[in-house]
């Protein structure tokens, strides 16, 4: 099939077809992680002008997103190495993002200040990680990932 790569896995010693989607999921996770670390780090530790530009960022969301960027990178590496734990980690990330998103909603309903771009960023994060987790769950059942 187009966009598939054939690999010999050391464990099985036979030819396995790895869907291109695994490589795409890994690349998305790694790129998203790097961008998250860069943007979160700039907002938290950058020059004062950059921190002021953040506006009414919600501190717990900002810290969560910055720290989760490192987890995105680890999971992206796990996906690239086709490790089964990457599936569980992607599910955990998706759940954690949804929980933080719900806490952000609570924060907003309490009348606290926030930036609308934070809401948009959380929608994007949740969507990406839910999609990655669902995709990995599907390919795990077909044994493209290693135990």
Q: What value does the mean pLDDT take over residues 87-114? A: 97
Lowest-confidence pick of 4-13, 25-34, 35-44: 4-13
Query: Which tens digit of pLDDT belongs to each residue from 40-82?
Result: 999 999 888 887 888 899 999 999 999 999 999 999 999 999 8
Please say if the pLDDT value at position 15 is more than 90. Answer: no
DSSP designation for 145: S
Distance, in Å, from the CA atom of 1 to the CA atom of 29, rounded to the nearest integer, reads 24
Please say if the pLDDT value at position 5 is more than 50. Answer: no
DSSP string, 26-58: HHHHHHHHHHHHHHHHHHHHS-HHHHHHT-S--
């Amino acid at each position: 099939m187009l966009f598939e790569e054939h690999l010999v896995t050391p464990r099985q010693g036979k030819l396995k077809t790895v869907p291109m989607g695994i490589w795409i999921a890994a690349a998305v996770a790694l790129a998203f992680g790097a961008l998250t670390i860069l943007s979160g780090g700039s907002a938290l530790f950058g020059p004062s002008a950059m921190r002021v530009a953040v506006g009414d960022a919600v501190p717990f969301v900002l810290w969560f997103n910055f720290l989760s960027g490192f987890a995105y990178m680890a999971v992206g590496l796990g996906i690239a190495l086709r490790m089964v734990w990457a599936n569980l980690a992607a599910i955990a990330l998706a759940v954690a993002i949804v929980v933080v998103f719900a806490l952000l909603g609570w924060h907003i309903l309490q009348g606290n200040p926030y930036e609308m771009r934070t809401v948009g960023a959380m929608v994007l994060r949740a969507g990406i990680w839910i999609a990655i987790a669902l995709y990995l769950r599907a390919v795990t059942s077909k044994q493209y990932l290693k135990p």
